[in-house]
């Protein structure tokens, strides 16, 4: 079984780019552990500086419990920590728009 790849978009608020990057550069070790435990082993976020859109791509190991990640206390604390910087849902989860795959090259 191969990895599952998920891509999605999020939205930063104006003036939040530097702080967003700073907080991710200092990612909490317990959050990194929770991401790994959920099966995420490769995760990148890219910024469109013109629109402040964030584009995330992550790779999941097959059969891992990613659906349990939003209930993890450390994930909830991270969402609360990041909420002032981005568009969020009422529970502070970042608003997220799934991006369907239209092309993949594996050479």
Distance CA 60, CA 39 (A): 5
Residue 1 has pLDDT above 80, yes or no: no
Residue 74 lies in a domain: yes
CATH number, domain with residue 18 = 3.30.70.100
Question: pLDDT tens digit string along 74-106?
Answer: 999 999 999 999 999 999 999 999 999 999 888
Total count of domains within the chain: 1
pTM, entire model? 0.92
Which position among 24, 41, 81, 104 bears the catalytic label?
A: 24
Residue 105 lies in a domain: no
Residue 44 lies in a domain: yes
Q: Quote the pLDDT of residue 17.
A: 98
Q: What is the mean pLDDT of the chain?
A: 95
Coil, helix or strand for 6?
A: strand
Residue 54 lies in a domain: yes
Which structural domain range is residue 31 located in? 4-98
Reply yes or no on whether 24 is catalytic: yes
Residue 79 lies in a domain: yes
Q: Quote the pLDDT of residue 104.
A: 87
Provide the total of helices (H) and of strands (E) in the chain, helices listed first.
3, 4
């Amino acid at each position: 079984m191969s990895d599952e790849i998920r891509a999605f978009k999020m939205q930063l608020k104006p003036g939040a780019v530097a702080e967003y990057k700073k907080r991710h550069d200092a990612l909490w070790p317990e959050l990194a552990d929770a991401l790994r435990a959920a099966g995420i082993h490769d995760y990148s976020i890219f910024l469109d500086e013109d629109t402040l859109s964030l584009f995330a791509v992550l790779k999941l190991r097959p059969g891992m419990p990613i659906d349990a990640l939003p209930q993890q206390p450390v994930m909830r604390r991270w969402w609360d920590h990041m909420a002032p910087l981005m568009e969020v849902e009422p529970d502070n989860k970042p608003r997220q728009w799934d991006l369907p795959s239209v092309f993949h090259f594996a050479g």
